[in-house]
Amino acid sequence: MTTVPCESGFAHQALFYRGAADFVDSVMSFVGEGIARRERVMIAVPGAHIDLLRAEAPRWNGHAHFLDMTELGRNPGRIIPAVEEFLFEQEGRPARFVGEPIWPGRNTDEIAEATRHESLINLALSQFSVTVLCPYDVEALPERVIADAWRTHPEAISGGLTHLSRHFADARAMCRDDLWPLAPPPEQTETCSFGFDDLLALRARVHHYGLLSGLGEDRAFDLVLAVNEMVSNSIQYGGGNGVLRIWTDQRRAIVCEVNDSGHITDPLEGRYAPGPGLEARGLWLVNQLSDLVEIRSGPDGTRVRIRINP
């Protein structure tokens, strides 16, 4: 398997694998090719897959950087900033990234955000000299996931052969809100309107709800901080006010949604890491604190929905 980046130095491929042996052989070939070219490699796959790769290729120690995707990519909005940080460290030298953001067991909402992430890679990383490989377990994942992989990747590898995708879609078209509608909130939610003068009381209310719903003090603080950033954004950029809804879903996760009249035009908003010495704020911080972030925005307003798992 040989991967050839495009003229800009960027390539993005799906890897359709069948079983552990196919996964290991394909990823080892990809990573080994990069190491032979003296390219640094970042590998973010579920923990069990990290163990498989390390067992087969101990010689990679020092040449490949491993991250557990079930941690990094639990909220897919965290992945691109982490990869960009790795690429900036290369100072323009070619690099490789293996990222498996969709694995068996992910729920529908997580798959939707991971699919949007896969499309946004084509916007976010196109200026870098990086070859990106995204494994997909075709035996365990739903057919819709595989079909969407053809839409989010210009190329796909299957059985050792590389195929151009005839279904590849522009990232802005692929991430249109109407393709990924959010389920409506349940009837029973805590709902309150807010403006600047309501921030203190709102934080206290969210903290109290988090503790009553079973969060520990640390995660309750994370919830308050994330909601505070969402609400502050609404006040500053979304018309000066908005509506907060908060509820507990069927998985006992706490869900908070902020609605306002603003319009986010950049699909990568929240995926720009703050520069050195700058304070972490806004939707980037919300992504770091939350287990899932869903942003839907248009001329009629913006909804930002976060989930904090118990």
- pTM (two decimals): 0.94
- Express each pLDDT in 144-181 by its tens digit: 999 999 999 999 999 999 999 999 999 999 999 999 99
Please report the pLDDT score of residue 207 as a whole number: 97
244, two tokens: 């907060």
96, two tokens: 């490789």
What residues contact 61, with CB distance under 8 A and at least 6 apart?
A: none
| Cβ–Cβ under 8 Å, residues 79 and 73 | yes
How much is the mean pLDDT over the chain?
93
- Nearest in space to 105 (alpha carbons), one of 118, 96, 117, 114: 114
| Cβ–Cβ under 8 Å, residues 250 and 300 | no
Please report the pLDDT score of residue 7 as a whole number: 47
Confidence tier at 4 by pLDDT (50, 70, 90): very low
| % of residues, the chain, pLDDT over 70 | 95
Going through the chain in order, the beta strands assigned E by DSSP cover 10-17, 40-45, 64-68, 95-99, 130-137, 155-158, 161-164, 190-194, 242-248, 254-260, 292-298, 301-308
- Express each pLDDT in 98-123 by its tens digit: 999 999 999 999 999 999 999 999 99
Please report the pLDDT score of residue 125 as a whole number: 97
- Express each pLDDT in 187-222 by its tens digit: 989 999 999 999 999 999 999 999 999 999 999 999
Please report the pLDDT score of residue 279 as a whole number: 66
Helix ranges (H only) for 165-216 are: 171-174, 199-212
Q: Is 105 left (phi over 0), alpha (psi -120 to 50) or beta?
A: left
φ and ψ at 254, to 5 degrees?
-90, 130
Confidence tier at 8 by pLDDT (50, 70, 90): low
CB atoms within 10 A of CB 195: 14
Residue 289 class from Cβ within 10 Å (0-12 exposed, 13-18 middle, 19+ buried)? buried
Q: Any bridge partners for residue 131, and if so which?
A: 11, 96
CATH 3.30.565.10 residue spans of the chain: 187-308
52, two tokens: 């498989």
Section 283-288 average pLDDT: 96
CATH 3.30.565.10 fits 187-308, yes or no: yes
Q: How far apart are CA 50 and CA 67, in angstroms?
A: 8
- Class in CATH terms, 10-176: alpha beta
Confidence tier at 267 by pLDDT (50, 70, 90): very high
Q: Which residue's structure tokens are 């050839």?
A: 4
Q: How many CA atoms lie within 13 A of 69 on its CB side?
A: 25
Q: Any bridge partners for residue 192, and if so which?
A: 244
279, two tokens: 């304070």
CA–chain centroid gap for 74, Å, is 7
| % of residues, the chain, pLDDT over 90 | 89
Please report the pLDDT score of residue 14 as a whole number: 98
Confidence tier at 3 by pLDDT (50, 70, 90): low
CATH 3.40.50.300 residue spans of the chain: 10-176
